[in-house]
A and B are shown apart, each in its own frame.
Chain A
Amino acid sequence: MIEYKNVTFRHKSGTVALKEINLKIGEGELLAIVGTNGAGKTTLIRHLNGLLKPSSGNVYVFGIDTKKATVSTLSKRVGMVFQNSDHQLFSNTVEEEITFGLKNFGYDYVKAKERAETMMRFFGLTALKDRAPLTLSGGEKKRVCMAAVLAWEPEVLVLDEPTVGQDFINKKKLYQAIVETNAAGRTVIIVTHDVEFIWPLQPRILVMSSGRIVRDGRASDIFVDEGLLRSANLIMPQLAEISNRIGMAPAALDINQLLEVKDNWLRI
């Protein structure tokens, strides 16, 4: 459904940000992209809706060559939520903010309002409907941004560092939204450093380094590989590390799995 074929991307200044990327992402997949800052994660996802076009090679999204399509037609199907909420909020009210994309994509007034209401209910924003998005808390802003993109029901949802600066309660809500979106058959792609957050999601993981994909595999394999994690500036999720150290494989996804076998490892 999404395919990168030999994609290389060079900045105007000449620096190569992506090197010969070959990648296939299937329908309904849950994918996390990790790696150090500057490894090429952001550049990689900017190719998904045509914000960047390959210097050589091709990116196909639903069979469409992104070089031959506009950002707007691709964005209709690939929704992207940016890291910094303050980079996209500008409307007078939360409701207007959510309908902005819908209007751009040609939804009529009634349908747009209906979609916005559904989204506000889903993200617990109904009470904030008439508030100015810029006056909301960081967590609420993030939810408005998510709602504003999910509103037009893109088949692929891309999240760039969704948990940065988010507290526990809001992370939980984000987690829920990701699970439900993915369960509804949509592809979800997350760029993140937050291993604790994605560990229980057990997504497919791409590890990037210097513009290349250095590993592509399951979280259960990649997040227990200490050397690999260090090369990507990551730290092993605590549950994975504890499981590792007590010799439990596969690693526990929640503390209950550790408690079930506590007789095997508990000293006191």
Chain B
Amino acid sequence: MTAVIEFKDFSFIYEGEKEAAVKHISFSVEKGDILLIAGISGSGKSTILRAMNGLIPHMYNGVYEGEVLIEGKSVLDTPMNELSRSIGFVFQNPENQIFAFSVERDVAFGLENQGFSSEEIRERVAWATGMLGISDLRKMAPFELSDGQKQRTAIAGVLALKPNILILDEPTSLLDPLTAKETLALISDLNKELGLTCIIVEHRLELAAPIANKMLVISKGEVRNFGRLKDVIVDPVIYLSGISIPPLIELQKALGIDDVRLTIDSFIREIVHR
């Protein structure tokens, strides 16, 4: 397996700040992984995400130490527009990432910026809206969409650039639970169908844990644990990092089960007798 994202002893201090936002971050993500990043607000999550897609150092200045490699290339030497092709970034609030007056024009936004031909743009917009199940909404205006549809539009706009890596910063925090669950299921589908490597920051572990395979716990700018999700999610360090554990996991820990089941379905099937 080859690492598509690699952090090598990365530290960063924002310009004008005294404290480092993150310190000595090292971890790597392989192709096809879904990495769940967990940490409270202000723990350094956003800094790690920005360092992945190049907003750090290309848009934010500061003291940059160590190295961040995306598909083997250092983020430091790769211009933003090249990074934006290989890494898609979906932000928390879909409202603030929809620029156009119709779904299809917004999905086309990145493609137009990158200079694709009209035919290619139309083809890719059709593909991306189809993948997200929003083909019917193509002519709709942003204010006519529900929150879930807005978030799908935002994801489609990023997916249209056919990135190899998709970063999602709390993509469901403004959605209701069922819509959040559907959105995460969609991300899991994209991961399976396209082999897309995904990075998700999410507070609601009960929804996000079942779709991820790796987990990174971060607190006060440092990595507390990183590895296979099933191993990390039962590590007591999680409490100290301020992350809440779903009752299903708590219950299995209390029962002394090492190989925790991440969904209620598998828990009932394998652990409960009927």
Contacts and interface: CB of A to CB of B under 8 A. Distances in A.
Interface string B241-274: 0111011101100110100000010011011110
Given A167-B41, A245-B272, A255 B173 contact: no
A165 B176 contact: no
Interface string B168-204: 0010011011110100000000000000000000010
Contacts of A258: 251
Nearest to A163: B203
Contact of B178 (A170, A233, A245, A268): A233
8 contacts: A37-B146, A234-B176, A238-B264, A245-B264, A246-B272, A255-B250, A259-B255, A268-B271
A168 B243 contact: yes
Interface in A18-73: 36-38
Contact of B242 (A169, A195, A262): A169
Interface of B: 40-42, 146-147, 170, 173-174, 176-179, 181, 203, 206-207, 242-244, 246-248, 250-251, 254-255, 257, 264, 267-268, 270-273
Contacts of A154: none
B194 to A, nearest CB: 27
Interface in A251-268: 254-255, 258-259, 262, 265-268
A241 B177 CA distance: 15
Interface of A: 36-38, 137-139, 164-171, 193-196, 230, 233-235, 237-239, 241-242, 245-246, 254-255, 258-259, 262, 265-268
B141 to A, nearest CB: 15
Contacts of A170: 40
A238 B176 contact: no
A238 B247 contact: yes
Contact of A36 (B40, B176, B203, B243): B176
Contacts of A196: 206, 246-247
